[in-house]
């Protein structure tokens, strides 16, 4: 028998992987007398190919699965891929852009069809890569996160929790994309440092006794302010708690409140509170039962709650107009 001088993984690994599959070595036999060992693979997204993190993670899983299998324990490693939601949609939309089209041009049904087509192409590629790594998954049980059975299970659990009064609908601060018009998971948000600007705005006291100064990088959100906060132990301003101030460019008055969220050593010591448009302000608002005024629609355009002067402007146009009006009024 002639033995090759060089190891050829393409030939050797494919040969033995095929042998393992054909003999069903990755599909466990049920033995109710033994406690099974199971791993549900963290499903990789269908938006591309595996990266080194996948290689490391799946190698470690494979080591555990093969070890348990060799000790005689019924062992199951369930494979699958994740639909990746908005990430997949973005990839498909980039492909559409190459054709000079948008999702609005082709309509919902065709967009969904293209997403599924992308899943079949990329999902299949990822599965083949897992096999090339030698992953000893039970491929007879391969799943996709949007499979009907899984979707039905999610609905069943949701309805069950709702019927037990464990789910309720309420307002929360979330990551939102005005272009995609959808919520984003924390790990889908990409942060970038940029050079910004801090505007200082005077809020006059309603009784005409002067004004206080707040600082913000987003002056457009002032239209949704419902309070100005100070630290409860700030000796400079404790006497102002409960006073009312006029919210510039509106006909509303808002109270001065005390909350430990405020850093009395930072800036002026006054913080504008916009419960509907800042996660920290939201928590302050919940503690003080403040109104949540949503001043933008789902596209990032100012709505009627922002006032007649700003309705219909996008948030950046609104920012520019507010800054100009404040300067004109010496605020």
Residue 23 and residue 158 in one domain: yes
Is 177 in contact with 298 (CB distance < 8 Å)?
no
- pLDDT number for residue 65: 96
- Structure confidence at residue 169 as a pLDDT band (50, 70, 90): confident
The pTM for the full model equals 0.70
| Model pLDDT for residues 299-316, shown as the tens digit of each residue | 999 999 999 999 999 999
Task: Point out the domain boundary residue: 163, 189, 214.
Answer: 163
Residue 18 and residue 71 in one domain: yes
Dihedral Cα 136, 142, 143, 144, nearest 10 deg: 90
Instruction: Give the 3-state secondary structure of residue 16.
Output: helix
| Strands of the chain, DSSP E | 37-40, 75-78, 80-81, 143-144, 175-177, 182-184, 199-204, 211-216, 227-230, 244-246, 253-258, 271-273
- pLDDT number for residue 1: 55
Residue 232 and residue 320 in one domain: yes
The residue segments making up the domain with residue 57 are 9-163
Percentage with pLDDT > 90 across the chain: 58
Structural domain includes residue 45: yes
CATH number of 273's domain:
3.90.740.10
- pLDDT number for residue 154: 92
Structural domain includes residue 188: no
| Model pLDDT for residues 128-153, shown as the tens digit of each residue | 899 999 999 999 999 888 888 888 99
Instruction: Say if residue 197's pLDDT is above 80.
Output: yes
Instruction: Say if residue 85's pLDDT is above 80.
Output: no
**CA atoms of 316 and 302, how far apart (whole Å):** 10
| Model pLDDT for residues 279-296, shown as the tens digit of each residue | 999 999 999 999 999 999
Task: Point out the domain boundary residue: 113, 143, 163.
Answer: 163
Structural domain includes residue 185: no
**CA atoms of 63 and 12, how far apart (whole Å):** 20
- pLDDT number for residue 187: 76
Instruction: Say if residue 319's pLDDT is above 90.
Output: yes
């Amino acid at each position: 028998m002639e033995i090759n001088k060089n190891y050829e993984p393409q030939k050797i690994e494919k040969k033995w992987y095929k042998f393992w599959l054909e003999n069903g070595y990755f599909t466990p036999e049920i033995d109710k007398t033994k406690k099974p060992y199971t791993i549900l693979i963290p499903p990789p997204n269908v938006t591309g190919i595996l990266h080194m993190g996948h290689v490391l993670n799946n190698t470690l899983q494979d080591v555990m699965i093969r070890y348990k299998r060799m000790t005689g324990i019924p062992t199951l490693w369930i494979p699958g891929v994740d639909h990746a939601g908005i990430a997949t949609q973005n990839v498909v939309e980039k492909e559409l852009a190459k054709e000079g089209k948008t999702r609005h041009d082709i309509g919902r049904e065709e967009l969904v069809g293209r997403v599924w087509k992308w899943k079949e192409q990329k999902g299949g590629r990822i599965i083949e890569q897992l096999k090339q790594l030698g992953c000893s998954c039970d491929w007879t049980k391969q799943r996709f996160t949007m499979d009907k059975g899984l979707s039905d299970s999610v609905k069943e659990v949701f309805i069950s929790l709702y019927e037990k009064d464990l789910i309720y609908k309420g307002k929360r601060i979330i990551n939102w994309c005005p272009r995609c018009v959808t919520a984003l998971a924390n790990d889908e948000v990409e942060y970038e440092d940029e050079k910004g600007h801090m505007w200082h705005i005077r809020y006059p006291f309603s009784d005409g006794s002067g004004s206080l100064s707040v600082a913000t990088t987003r002056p457009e959100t002032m239209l949704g302010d419902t309070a100005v906060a100070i630290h409860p132990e700030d000796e400079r301003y404790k006497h102002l708690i409960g006073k009312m101030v006029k919210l510039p460019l509106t006909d509303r008055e808002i109270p001065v409140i005390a909350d430990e969220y405020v850093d009395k050593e930072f800036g002026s010591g006054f913080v504008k509170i916009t419960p509907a448009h800042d996660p920290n302000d939201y928590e302050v608002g919940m503690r003080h039962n403040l109104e949540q005024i949503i001043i933008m629609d789902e596209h990032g355009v100012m709505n009627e709650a922002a006032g007649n002067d700003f309705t219909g402007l996008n948030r950046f146009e609104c920012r520019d107009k507010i800054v100009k009006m404040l300067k004109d009024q010496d605020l």
